[in-house]
Homo-oligomer: A and B are copies of this chain.
Amino acid sequence: MATTRPRRLARQVSIVGAGLSQFGAYPDKSSRDLFVEAFHDMQDNIDQGISAQDIEAGYLGNYSADLFEHQGHTAPIMADWLGMTPTPITRVENACASSGSALREGVMAIASGMYDVVLVGGVEKMTSLPTEGVTDVLASAADGLYEVPAGLTFPGIFGAIAKAHMDRYETNLNHLLKVGIKNHENGKLNPKAQFQVTVRDMMDRRRIAWPLRLYDCAPITDGASCVLLVASDIASQFTDKPVHVAGMGQATGRPLHDAEELTSLSAAKIASAEAYAMAGIGPENVGVAEVHDCFTIAEIVASEDLGFFEPGEGPHAVDEGRTARTGDRPINTSGGLKAKGHPVGASGVAQVIEVFKQLRGEAGARQLTSPDLEFGLTHNVGGTGGTCVVNVLQRG
């Protein structure tokens, strides 16, 4: 039957521009407003300029405008508001990995030969519902037949993962707290980030789902993100600092009720192995990584699943400052979902934007100074690992 072979693209694809809306809680902004704001930010940041009518196809990552705003078929509405019609646009949904998956579609659309210039974005307007409503909408990304009826919300699920990691390794509450402190310190240097909090704030002991406390959880956020992808052979028409998509991996995990273990997400291991193989690198070559820290424990698990550290070593790496901006393995320099905010459908592309900026030397006060920064990685998770998307980006 089908041959098994290393994945490769028929044409190389590059990122040449990126835009983010402000992340936060905005009662007066709908999805449309947020997405237009991100697009305008991107237009301001593309050296040679870009008009909506120059784009040949679009992809929109969105988890559930259906449930958050009672609006389906969101992609054409965004195209209309950008002035992009009649250009084709398609919504992609893989829970909190929606725009991570959307990016893959944009890359493959160009590599297929169909298009040269593709917009990929993500958006989520979450604060229209009260917190319990948001928790319920997010829980619908878990398995509604087995997991949700058992009372598993996402904080509950990641609480169980944290407890399992603590039971199996030497992980403790201080490790979790230190992930949050690191990410909020990074977030303070990110003008788009939702939160500016102090270490004193983070000592808040309110329990959400034991052992997770309030500041172990990413916030509820309104926000949007977008990037412009082009065939690498025309990238110079847009910028002299393109960033290439060197490797991509996506994998599907079995639902948590059926997972072999709780201290690792199998989809993350498979997706990253595929992305590394395609890029021809290993974890040791990754100079900057944005990982899916929907909860502090998720960053520790990700840092192990991605091969940065051995299983059980993740918490010690945090203790030793290795994942800080000044460490040898900087993670979530943007502030991560934790501090930057987590508008779920927008997060995958927002991660890509941070790596894009770091590789171009445009990350402002949070810029890494390593002179040999060549490869960066993003790790975007949907549900409890039902989907994991890993991208390897390379400085052009």
| A→B interface (CB under 8 Å) | 1-3, 7-11, 30, 32, 50, 54, 56, 63-64, 66-67, 69-73, 75-77, 79-80, 84-95, 101, 104-105, 107-117, 137, 140-145, 230, 234, 237-238, 248, 250-255, 258, 266-267, 270-271, 382-383, 386-387
- The smallest C-beta distance from A200 to any residue of chain B, in angstroms, reads 37
Instruction: Report the separation of the CA atoms of residues A69 and B144 in the bound assembly, to the nearest whole angstrom.
Output: 9
Determine whether the beta carbon of B92 is less than 8 Å from that of A92. yes
For residue A144, which residues in chain B have a CB less than 8 angstroms away from its CB?
A: 69-71
- In the bound assembly, the distance between CA atoms of A301 and B304 in angstroms comes to 57
From B80, B110, B117, B250, A88 is in contact (CB under 8 Å) with B250
Of B108, B145, B237, the residue contacting A108 (CB under 8 A) is B108
Assess whether B2 is in contact with A54, with CB atoms less than 8 Å apart: yes
CA distance A117 to B89 in the complex (A): 24
Task: Look across to chain B and name the residue whose beta carbon is closest to the beta carbon of A4.
Answer: B56
A94 contacts B73, C-beta separation under 8 Å: yes
Residues of B within 8 A of A93 (CB): 72-73, 75, 90-93
Q: List 15 A-B contacts (CB under 8 A).
A: A1-B50, A2-B230, A11-B112, A70-B140, A73-B93, A73-B141, A75-B94, A76-B252, A76-B382, A76-B383, A85-B251, A86-B267, A87-B251, A91-B94, A92-B93
Instruction: Decide if A77 touches B386 in the complex (CB within 8 Å).
Output: yes
Among the listed B75, B108, B252, B258, which residue makes an inter-chain contact with A114, where contact means beta carbons less than 8 Å apart? B108
Our pick among B75, B77, B92, B117 for the contact of A2 (Cβ within 8 Å) is B117
Q: How many copies does the complex hold?
A: 2
Which residues of the partner chain B approach A11 to less than 8 Å between Cβ atoms? 10, 112
* B-side contacts of A87, CB under 8 Å: 251-252
* Residues on B with beta carbons closer than 8 Å to the beta carbon of A145: 30, 32
Known: A92-B91, A267-B86. A111 touches B73 (CB 8 A): no
Q: Check B7–A114 contact: CB distance below 8 A.
A: yes
- How many Å from the CB of A262 to the closest CB on chain B? 17
With A108-B114, A113-B10, A382-B76 already in contact, the answer to whether A252 and B89 are too (CB < 8 A) is yes
Q: How close is A328's CB to chain B, nearest CB, in angstroms?
A: 30
- A52 to chain B minimum Cβ distance, whole angstroms, is 12
Instruction: Specify which chain B residues have a CB less than 8 angstroms from the CB of A7 in the assembled complex.
Output: 113-115
B-side contacts of A84, CB under 8 Å: 252
A75-B387, A76-B252, A105-B105 given. 7 additional CB < 8 A pairs? Answer: A7-B115, A69-B144, A73-B142, A75-B93, A76-B94, A85-B254, A114-B248
CB distance from A305 to the nearest CB of B (A): 13
Q: How far is the CB of A35 from chain B (nearest CB, A)?
A: 13
